Structure 1
Amino acid sequence: MKKNIAIIGGGIVGSTAAYYLSKLDHKHEFNVTMYDDGKGQATKAAAGIISPWLSKRRNKKWYNLARDGATLLSDIAKETDMSKDIYDQCGTIITRDNQDKLNDLYQKALVRTKETKTIGDVFKLNANEVKSKIPLLTKSLPGVLVTGGARIDGGRFSKHLKNIAQSNNLKIVNKKVAINDEGKIQLEQDSIEYDYIIIATGAWMKNTLSNLPLEVDVRAQKGQLIELSTNSIHSNADMPVLMPEGERDFIPFSNGKLIVGATHENDKGFDLQPTSEVIDDLLASANRLVDGLNQENLVKIKVGTRAYTSDFAPFFGNIPQYENILVGGGLGSSGLTTGPLIGKLLAQSIVDKNNIDLDQYRKPIENYIKIN
């Protein structure tokens, strides 16, 4: 008899879980229903950089998750024939404002090459070499290039995986649901029982679980980014993405599109309205790297809501005392890197829980979800 599985949330975690539930062994044993109203989703608004290897974060379990997440993304892109406008392993340049910092960064990169092949080759560049790699730049600092770095469009990535899953065993319902006090899906007036439920609702997870006696460590963080047109000055070269010292992330495309951001704004709740002063700040950051950019270059503003925990680490796995309910949340600004691996691990936990080692990637889930 087939097992019925529900996924709440169609972002980076939910879409990857659906993809793997449609392709892992025993996939024909599952009926999968995704509930997603799509509102405020961080993934949908996100265009980001996949380059975790030189992060300053000291959480070893997080690094394992991000490192292996970057490798998984590369693998998914290849196995699903993903187009470059969704995922492009174009390389990443990280700049530093003095030679000692640059040397430390370079040495760290060399160490990381021994841990994973996905990082690619590593090069130390002077300021002029950075500008030659990214012809858009009129100003630059020296930096380190890692050729395995990538850019990703989160919304398109999720849509791509959901399309594949829909051709197998996934049904999508574009409605908002919650978990009721019986641990079932509450859809309007209907209470629906599933064998397993995966909850991947990001900053909304407290609301999704509010009918259960749980304390959930999640807070919302607003993120804004801007898309600029640089058609008058851009090069047709295929350029790396840039993580510039002291500035916003800088994601150029060969078609003249430039993404700048995103911001990290606490205490904004679930506000999805663009903020003029923040947009001005993002434009100013871009203009410090590329002369002449202004409001006339502004094409689009995207706003999303991330989920953070109090110690900035993600959590995932089965909820204590609710073994058929799994969660993946608190991903923060690294969600595009870590989310796909979390989604895969949740799917594997349903298929074959005994052979999955989640603890190499996470702190105890009880740190983030407690029974009241």
Structure 2
Amino acid sequence: MSKNVIIIGGGIIGLCSAYYLQKEGHQVTIVDQSNLDSGASYVNAGYLCPSHIIPLSAPGVMKKGIKWMFDTTSPLYIKPRLDINFLKWTWAFNKSCTSNHVERAAPIIRDISVLSQQLYEDIKTKENFSAHYEKKGLLMLCQTEKMLDEELKMVDVAVDLGLDAKGVTPTEIEQLEPNIEINTIGGTYFKCDHHSTPQEFMSEMKGYLENNGVTFYTNEKVEDLEISNLNITELKTNKQTLIADEIVLAAGSWSSLLSKKLGLNLLIQAGKGYCINTKQNTEITIPAILSEAKTAITPMNGFTRLAGTMEIAGINHNINMTRVQAIANAARNYYPSFEITELEKDNAACGLRPVSPDGLPYIGKSHKCKNLTIATGHAMMGWSMGTATGLLVSQVISDKKTALCLDGFNPDRKF
């Protein structure tokens, strides 16, 4: 049965949800407070990476976070503040930083990431998208024996989960990247990973949706939700009142603010990430993560992108140039010939990633509202999980069997 569906949020999750919902014959409207040309879906590293099977909430991360709290250049910066939602999130995050949680979460992350890769390729083929997409794998580059040992252990976990991964020596790294000097003692190579240029896919997906009957309301903010008998009856924006059979909450870091209106306290913190685009350094052909610096290097279509840091400091788009410089310094440290101009650093952008306490997204229905489907909390993996999340949202709303078990993504799960 065709339904009238409103999606709050026009990032990768919202667009992919709209794609599969309109394929099922539903009438779809997307409402977004931006112009749909910026944010986390546009400034991410472009990875579709099953290799990232370990959630952010892993053993030792909270200890590192406390240590790094006093270092504005650190890969993870958590700004302490007296905010009840932040304190609840921090408590739940700390509880999730266990080996048992990682063991439970890793196969769940693998399954949704592998499915997303398959669906991304399927969409490109079916819709004849020309967006840049390559299957060159991902290098994890190390400069210390301690980090190399950690990365090799990760390879063991990945191989046990059926992923194509191996350790690589400096000589093997040079064979993979023969045209640029790399300062490393070795690393790992995840052949299972793919990469893309995000803004190209986003642009083509928006064009496809517009041409196939999806309505867009941009620069329009959802301000209130009217509830009756556990159903959303009206959605009020700063411009109009909308009515729908089903609502999808895919508003990223803003999702928790709207969820409170439903009596649903989604634990989400905004994790700011930065990116620098450079037209230099065209010799790099394989994406890499600089392990000690937690910085990503991605050769995109016509430019190279540096992306990194996780700054949990509330919802804001302030650019901290100290952190931008730290990303640039990391690139130069691993690639001695790497060049970035001052203008490129001045043009650095940021995006806010919605971070759940346990590193798993919220996907599915809550008992608090019958006609609401939640799709948020993907942290750094929104791009990597986007297409699969969209499919799952469509299957939930269409009352179909879901492609993956949703238990691990339950919005009502306890921490």
Letter of the 1:230 partner, please give it.
Answer: Q
1:22-48 per-position Cα deviation (integer Å, ceiling 9, x unaligned): 223xx1xx2211111227632122233
For 1:52, the equivalent position in structure 2 comes to 50
Shift of 1:128: 2.6
Match of 2:286 in 1: 240
Tell me which residue corresponds to 2:257: 207
TM-score, L = length of structure 1: 0.84
Aligned 1:156-175 pairs, distance under 5 A? 156-174=200-218, 175=220
Query: Using a 3 Å threshold, how does the CA distance of structure 1 residues 102 and 330 change in structure 2: closer, same or farther?
Result: closer
- 2:51·2:190 contact (CA, 8 Å) conserved in 1? no
Report the secondary structure of 2:113's partner residue.
Answer: helix
Structure 1: gaps (5+ residues): 114-118
One-letter amino acid matched to 1:263 = T
Give the match for residue 320 of structure 2: 275
CA contact (8 A) 2:50 2:113 kept: yes
Which of 234, 245, 248 is the equivalent residue of 1:198?
A: 248
1:261 corresponds, among 286, 297, 307, to 307
Distance 1:102 1:278, change over 3 A: closer
Between the aligned residues of both structures, percent identity stands at 21
Q: Show structure 1 runs of 4+ deviating over 6 A.
A: none
Counterpart amino acid of 1:127? P
Q: Deviations over 1:179-238 (max 9, x none)?
A: 42332211236432201111100110123334332222111111111112325xx43x7x
Q: 2:189 is aligned with what amino acid?
A: L
- The 8 Å contact of residues 253 and 377 in structure 2, kept in 1 or not, is answered as yes
Q: How many angstroms does 1:176 deviate by?
A: 1.6
Task: Confirm or deny: 8 A CA contact 1:20 1:344 kept in the other structure.
Answer: yes
**TM-score between both structures, scaled by the size of structure 2:** 0.76
2:172 corresponds to which of 116, 129, 153: 129
CA distance in 1, matches of 2:246, 2:270: 26
Deviation at residue 295 of structure 1 after TM alignment: 4.9
- Write the distance in 2 (CA, Å) between the matches of 1:228 and 1:189: 39
Tell me, yes or no, if the aligned pair for 1:225 and 1:302 is still in contact at 8 Å: yes
Contact map agreement 2:263 2:368 (CA 8 A) in 1 = no
| AA at the equivalent of 2:140 | I
Q: Equivalents in 2 of 1:360, 1:180: separation in Å?
A: 25
What is the alpha-carbon distance in structure 1 between the residues aligned to residue 212 and residue 181 of structure 2?
45
Distance 1:133 1:142 in 2: 12
Residue of 221, 225, 231 corresponding to 2:275:
225
Task: After superposing the two structures, state which structure 1 stretch, 214-223 or 192-201, moved more.
Answer: 214-223
Aligned residue in 2 for 1:346: 393
**Aligned match of 1:31 in 23, 27, 31?**
27
Per the alignment, residue 116 of structure 1 pairs with none
Q: RMSD between aligned alpha carbons?
A: 2.7
Question: Which digits, 9 at most, give the CA deviation of each residue in 1:86-130, with x for residues without a partner?
Answer: x322221223444755654544444344xxxxx5x5554321321
Partner-residue secondary structure (3-state), 1:265: strand
Aligned: 1:362 with 2:411:
no
Q: Which residue of 2 aligns with 1:21?
A: 21
**Would you say the 8 A contact 1:65–1:361 is kept in 2?**
no
Residue of structure 1 equivalent to 2:78: none
Q: CA deviation at 1:18?
A: 0.8
Q: Which has the higher helix share?
A: 2
Distance in 1 (CA, whole Å) between partners of 2:357 and 2:153 is 29
